[in-house]
Amino acid sequence: MIAILPGFNDIQQAANRLSGLAVRTPLLSSAALDERVGGRVLLKTETLQRTGSFKFRGAYNALSQLGPQFRASGVVAFSSGNHAQGVAEAARLLKMPALIVMPADAPLVKKEGVLARGAELHEYDRETENREDIARMLCAQRSAALIPSFDHPDIIAGQGTTGLEIFQDLKARGETADQLICCVGGGGLIGGINLVAEALSPETAIYGAEPEYFNDHARSLASGRRERNACKSGSVCDALLSETPGELTFAINQSRLSGICLVSDREALAAVRFGFEALKLVIEPGGAVALAAILSGKIDARNRTSVVVLTGGNVDWAIFNQVFDMMS
């Protein structure tokens, strides 16, 4: 049985909890990008968010609503890095212990970000171990609360504040968007954005973008049921390697997404390079797949106003070097 889905009102309440804590990230434009794709593009720069990604929004919204018993026992989360840092930062602000289950091959910059915020780290092998089983075991040992990375009403509502800001800022400018493109991992962010778009801008088409060999959402939309990826690793888009859409997130997204674009690693790295050279922004590969979708022409931005969500900027130097080695 599916838990109660969050709604637009939950996102508005999350915005109140996050007020003064989450960065209200800007919608930026670039003449170079507009010329490249033949349309107007507005970039929602969650790369500038606290902890370097949108994940702080959902993490703080969830942790701030936990009962007093968890102030001492704390929380456990599983994540490849951005949710991990979001939970670590939220726990630091709320003075709660946090233990993060992270794959051993997660980017060093994300591991360091977790430790710098005072959280503990439990590493695992993503090919042979199940992170959810490990997290549940640790929760039982510590009497801690489990904070999923996407499939939780409070997480989805918190991530949805990204969309609330987008459509509020568009209205303040007297503009509307023909389409919005956002990356898809577990589906929490785009699920929250879909709920906001339905309430504030139903004429805007919402598209997802995901790594081509981690195309569980594309296959799930085609089949009408939640499909699972065969691979657990093997893409530079480490932030988007979820095994399957969430139960809650798929219930939200299935009827609201206009489509899914599949992006290759090379296209994601090309978007990282374009971001650095033309936009003067640092974007991680997983955070750049929506930008890659329009730069590659896989989602047509000609003669349209498009919003592209840049979801994270936590990138190792090794990946940054790979960008320029591959694209030179």
Local mean pLDDT, 10-residue blocks, the chain (328 residues): 85 98 98 98 98 97 94 90 93 96 87 92 89 92 95 97 98 97 97 98 98 95 95 85 93 97 95 95 96 98 98 88 72
Q: Domains plus CATH for the chain?
A: 8-54+153-327 (3.40.50.1100), 56-147 (3.40.50.1100)
Burial of 218 (0-12, 13-18, 19+ CB in 10 A): buried
Q: Which two tokens stand for residue 49?
A: 């968010």
Q: What is residue 276's predicted lDDT score, i.e. its pLDDT?
A: 94
Q: What pTM was computed for the model?
A: 0.95
Cβ neighbours, 10 Å, residue 67: 7
Mention every residue, 6+ apart, whose C-beta is less than 8 A from residue 42.
27, 28, 29, 170, 177, 305, 306, 307, 308
Residue in this structure with the two tokens 């929760």, named with its chain if needed: 139
Q: What is residue 89's predicted lDDT score, i.e. its pLDDT?
A: 97
Q: What is residue 21's predicted lDDT score, i.e. its pLDDT?
A: 98
Strands 40-45 and 27-29: antiparallel
Q: What is residue 2's predicted lDDT score, i.e. its pLDDT?
A: 60
Residues 40, 305 contacting (CB under 8 angstroms): yes
Alpha helix (H) ranges present in 31-174?
31-37, 55-63, 70-73, 82-94, 108-116, 131-142, 153-173
Q: What is residue 93's predicted lDDT score, i.e. its pLDDT?
A: 97
> Crossing angle, helix 55-63 and helix 8-18, to 10 degrees?
90
Q: What is residue 178's predicted lDDT score, i.e. its pLDDT?
A: 98
Residues 217, 245 contacting (CB under 8 angstroms): yes
Q: What is residue 105's predicted lDDT score, i.e. its pLDDT?
A: 86
